[in-house]
Amino acid sequence: MLQIIGGPVPPNTDHAVSVSLPTWSANVAYEEGESWVTNSMQCGYPRFFIHPIIQELAVEIVRRFGSPNSDTAMLFPSTTTAELCRSFMKSRLPVEHHGRIRITSFSPSHETDAGFPTTTLLLSSVIYPKEFAPIAKQVWQHTGNGISSRRGEFCLGALRSGFLVERKSQAADVALRRICKGPRRYQGRDSISGTARTDGNHNQPRDLSSVGEAQDGKEYVQFIEERFGRNLNVSLADQARLAVRRRIAGVLTADVELSEALQETSREGRVAGLTEADVFLYPTGMSSIFNTHQMLLASRGQLKSICFGFPYIDSLKILQKWGPGCLFYGNGSSEDLDDLESRLQAGERFLALFTEFPGNPLLKSPDLKRIRQLADKYDFAVVVDETVGNFLNINVLPSADIVVSSLTKIFSGDSNVMGGSAVLNPHGCFYHSLRETFAHEYEDNVWAEDAVFLERNSRDFASRIEKINKTTEIIADMLLESPLVKHVYYPKLNPSKPLYDAFRTQNGGYGGLFSVTFHSTEEAIAFFDQLEVHKGPSLGTNFTLSCPYTLLAHYGELDWANSFGIEFGLVRISVGLEEEADLRDRIERALKAVSEVGA
């Protein structure tokens, strides 16, 4: 398998959300900023690597509205998200520098062929001196609120063509935010024909006539596939957003197989009465976590949060850097819950407990039932990230107030679009106050074209999950039997399996993610380098994807990660849709390389 360092994963994908780092040494070089890797980077995981198209747009904006020799810019989809960046930068800089950070926003010069009215804000930039870039980059990485590469591509062309101009009145922008107050019906508008774009190798979509009405005598899906090129029709994208929200809620599905899977889940108690009005979409999974935290602060006041279990790193950074801080329980153990209960009994109050089910990369499940009991007794919210488990395998919503997820992962699968969601439990004790807060504060910042790709990619996610579940279970059991392997981390094989099973659906499995460690770093390197699958960040892809997780996620804090059992030589594998026999052969060849190191 030929893998080009710094190339998109999958190959030939303009807006890929993973990047090829095919060897252990390439990952180390990436983390250390060595030019033989960094100069080859065509793309990267979007929150860590700013896409070249976005970089080009930032340069164009600074050339027109800043000082090219001294300034740079970070780009956001709204003035609200831009102001969050500016406020964060001001909080970390002396007051004499505050005036050097400014926001410039852009909207169409007139009604465009894409259907955007002149009142629509398409882009907001924070322009600042280059030496402040590391501070701005924290906002980009942690919040996930930055613009997508597709939005950047559209805005770059529109700016150069004169269709995108500076908005003079910043004060009016707040009134232009698109507030989500529940399900809406959208009326499509005609758009002039354009050349259809493709992104990677995709099959033609199946019919989705149940989602929208016919346009120009054609079904909605055919219309959107043929016309959704450089000329964006935003009203059609609204239909895609609605379909995604309904799909997550389990109300509307694109095919019979998915419908039956969701109906089964609903019967088991995902939450009766859940509708698309309780589902809120975000441009990334991290954005859904960041904004959920912001909504809770707005709804419940300035209280510390709890981060329970070893988290995806940016989740912890959000709680630490925005708001009053957090109490961190990195082991997520029963002893940690004992300590938390003692604090609560002593009168400490908290905003919310954030946890992942199961955790990443050790795939350990927290005691969610006990957490729920403590939350009910001591008045704090429970936020569960179900990305790794996914809602067809597990039902965590009844024990949560908000469930967040990265739709970039298994929901999409194609590794060519970012997305996130936050789902409110309609029976949660904070539901009404949260709905009111969301009604006033929520912004739908999902770019039109991204919404269409997300909807299209997710139509068959139930059948994909079923296949991936089965293959992963076989591969994990196979590795467990090998004496070359030190440990396999997988929900089925962990001591926390009963905690996972308590929320597993009747037909649900244990997911497509596992981690493996070896008896030495040299053996881990041999295994990773020999493993013939795609290598890069992310998970939940339709193809098997592996990375040296600790190296890639915690290179600057290895001792800290190791203190929570996250070994440096840990290799994480996200299983895809390959045939089980094929993947087994690849694993066996990689294990053979491990045995040769031992010899």
User: What are the start-end ranges of the H helices in 279-363?
Assistant: 285-300, 313-321, 334-345
Handedness of CA 140, 141, 145, 147 (dihedral sign): positive
CATH class, domain 278-442, is alpha beta
| 539 to 13, 470, 495, 512, 536: CA distances (angstroms) | 17, 17, 23, 9, 9
Using CB atoms within 10 Å of the CB of residue 435, give its burial: 0 to 12 exposed, 13 to 18 middle, 19+ buried: middle
Residues 6+ apart with CB under 8 A from 42: 6, 7, 8, 19, 52
Q: Kindly report the pTM of this predicted structure.
A: 0.88
At the fourth CATH level, the homologous superfamily of domain 461-596 is: Aspartate Aminotransferase, domain 1 (3.90.1150.10)
From 554, 533, 559, 555, select the one nearest 544 (Cα to Cα): 533
Residue spans of the domains in the chain: they are 45-166, 278-442, 461-596
Q: Extract the tokens encoding 147.
A: 């613009």
Rg from Cα positions in the chain: 23
Q: How many CA atoms lie within 13 Å of 457's alpha carbon, on the beta-carbon side?
A: 26
From 276, 253, 266, select the one nearest 459 (Cα to Cα): 253
Q: How far apart are CA 96 and CA 74, in angstroms?
A: 21
| 457 to 15, 305, 338, 485: CA distances (angstroms) | 14, 34, 43, 35
Beta strands in 144-235 (DSSP E): 164-166
DSSP annotation of 10 reads S
Tens-binned pLDDT, residue by residue, of the chain (599 aa): 668 999 999 999 999 999 999 999 999 999 999 999 999 999 999 999 999 999 999 999 999 999 999 999 999 999 999 999 999 999 999 999 999 999 999 998 876 666 677 678 899 999 999 999 999 999 999 999 999 999 999 999 999 988 899 987 654 444 444 433 333 322 332 222 222 333 343 333 333 333 333 333 344 344 334 434 445 566 788 899 999 999 998 843 334 444 455 555 444 446 788 899 999 999 999 999 999 999 999 999 999 999 999 988 899 999 999 999 999 999 999 999 999 999 999 999 999 999 999 999 999 999 999 999 999 999 999 999 999 999 999 999 999 999 999 999 999 999 999 999 999 999 999 999 999 999 999 999 999 999 999 999 999 999 999 999 999 999 999 999 999 999 999 999 999 999 999 999 988 999 999 999 999 999 999 999 999 999 999 999 999 999 999 999 999 999 999 999 999 999 999 999 999 999 999 999 999 999 999 66
